[in-house]
Amino acid sequence: MITIKEITSKGDLTTFVKFPFELYKNSPYYVPSIIKEEVDVMNPKKNPVFRNAEARYFLAYKDNNIVGRIAAIINWIEVKEQKKSKIRFGWFDVIDDIEVTKALLSKVSEYGAQHNLEYMEGPVGFSNMDKAGILIKGFDELNTMITWYNFPYYAEHMEQLNFEPAATWVEYKIKIPKQTKEKVIKFSRVIKERYQLKLLKFKKSKEILKYADDMFDLLNKTYSSLQTFVPIQQYQIDMYKKKYLPYLNPEYITCIVDKNDKLIAFSIVMPSFSKALKKMNGKVYPLRFLHILKAQRRNDTAAFYLIGIDPEYQNKGVTALIFKEMNEAFLRNGIEMVETNPELEENKAIQALWSDYEHEQHKIRRTFRKSL
């Protein structure tokens, strides 16, 4: 018999966060999140997203064992301002039992119906800056710090329950050339002079903070036309600055300003932390955090997290400057491969950036939706 329990206590929330550790304990590809960070994300007292969102968390039990989890989420900015009558579901993990999946999703459906919402979609987080999508290709690859891992049967469960595909993301591996291409060097010089642009160099992570708000403003401008877009709020920006600053290597951050020192483009790349996080296994006490510090300094793989370009400068070759700086930083630091973050399948402009490089589309992930 399957029973669903809504969790409310901090102890139960920790149990909720730890369930995937047991589910994927024998998987060589599952990269766990930091337990404390995950608990804080779901705590209304710690995560400012709850100013405009609400959530309920459920655990599924069978024979007194936990066999699944799910979060039901309503982002009220999305519902009220963007007029999307949607309830989100996320943090979805389950054993290979269709009845467990059905029972968990029925709780999301009930919650959405109580608020007169029209459809559910997931897995997603609270906003478009959170993890999203069921993996449908790339099961033999480590997930990155900002993506979920899952077994192949997840998508099969969705299809059996008559969910329809919604958004699809693709991810790439890009091989770093042994030297910066001459045409990139020449073209970047031309673009820099033509538009009177300047590159900013950073020595310390804290120096980047001055431009952080402008970066998120560019993200809002860059991705506002995409189907999953929800405007990033200032309180979220403040949280992300605090959360990700310790992971940044300033040498991998590229910022471009115009003649008036206005930020017009940026990119954020980080050394890959997948192997380090796997070794940490959800814990952050000092000795385990050494894995992060080692990954920052000695790594042959990087992860391309964010890129933003002012619409006024899109399709004007500004990305050549970004790639030139990144390529040179990679060569100085022994980076041989870069993995992109998930890119929406219809975002052809971003995917076109990799066309001049040896690359492989190695992962696909997708959200699913169903009318309530």
The pLDDT tens digits for 221-237 are: 776 665 566 777 777 77
Pure H helices in 195-285: 209-223, 234-244, 274-280
Q: What's the whole-number mean pLDDT along residues 302-310?
A: 85
Q: Which structure tokens are listed for 207?
A: 């120096």
| C-alpha R_g of the chain | 21
> What is the structure's pLDDT at 288?
67
For residue range 30-44, what is the model confidence (pLDDT) as tens digits?
Answer: 999 999 989 999 999
> What is the structure's pLDDT at 149?
97
- Run of H or E residues at 344: strand 343-344
Judged by average pLDDT, the poorest of 172-176, 216-220, 260-264, 275-279 is 216-220
Does 314 or 161 have the greater pLDDT score?
A: 161
Spatial CA neighbour of 15 closest among 66, 83, 87: 66
Top mean pLDDT of 97-101, 210-214, 312-316, 334-338 is at 97-101
Which regions of the chain carry the CATH code 3.40.630.30?
Answer: 2-170, 177-335
Residue written as tokens 């970004």? 322
pLDDT at residue 216 is higher than 90: no
> What is the structure's pLDDT at 128?
76
Does 210 or 87 have the greater pLDDT score?
A: 87
CATH homologous superfamily for 177-335? Gcn5-related N-acetyltransferase (GNAT) (3.40.630.30)
Cβ atoms 359, 175 nearer than 8 A: yes
Does 59 or 41 have the greater pLDDT score?
A: 59
Alpha-carbon distances, residue 331 vs 272, 299, 340 (angstroms)? 15, 12, 18
Q: What's the whole-number mean pLDDT along residues 158-177?
A: 94
Alpha-carbon span 34 to 21, nearest angstrom: 11
Q: Angle formed by the axes of helices 98-114 and 153-160, to 10°? A: 60
Pure H helices in 247-365: 274-280, 286-297, 318-333, 348-351
Top mean pLDDT of 56-60, 170-174, 207-211, 222-226 is at 56-60
Spatial CA neighbour of 75 closest among 135, 115, 104: 115
CATH of 2-170, one of 3.40.228.10, 3.30.70.141, 3.30.300.10, 3.40.630.30: 3.40.630.30
> What is the structure's pLDDT at 114?
96
For residue range 67-126, what is the model confidence (pLDDT) as tens digits?
Answer: 999 999 999 999 998 899 999 999 999 999 999 999 999 999 999 999 999 999 999 999
Cβ atoms 172, 339 nearer than 8 A: yes
> What is the structure's pLDDT at 4?
96
3-state per-residue secondary structure call for 69-88: EEEEEEEHHHHHHCCCCEEE
Please state, for a pLDDT cut of 90, what percent of the chain lies above it: 49
Q: Which structure tokens are listed for 32?
A: 């766990």
Confidence bin at 201 (pLDDT 50/70/90):
confident
For residue range 130-158, what is the model confidence (pLDDT) as tens digits?
Answer: 899 999 999 999 999 889 999 999 999 99
Residue written as tokens 């109580």? 114
- Coil, helix or strand at residue 26: coil
Residue type, 67: V
Spatial CA neighbour of 365 closest among 340, 342, 335: 342
pLDDT at residue 240 is higher than 80: no
Residue type, 357: Y
Residue written as tokens 């970047």? 188
> What is the structure's pLDDT at 287?
65
Spatial CA neighbour of 318 closest among 357, 359, 260, 266: 266
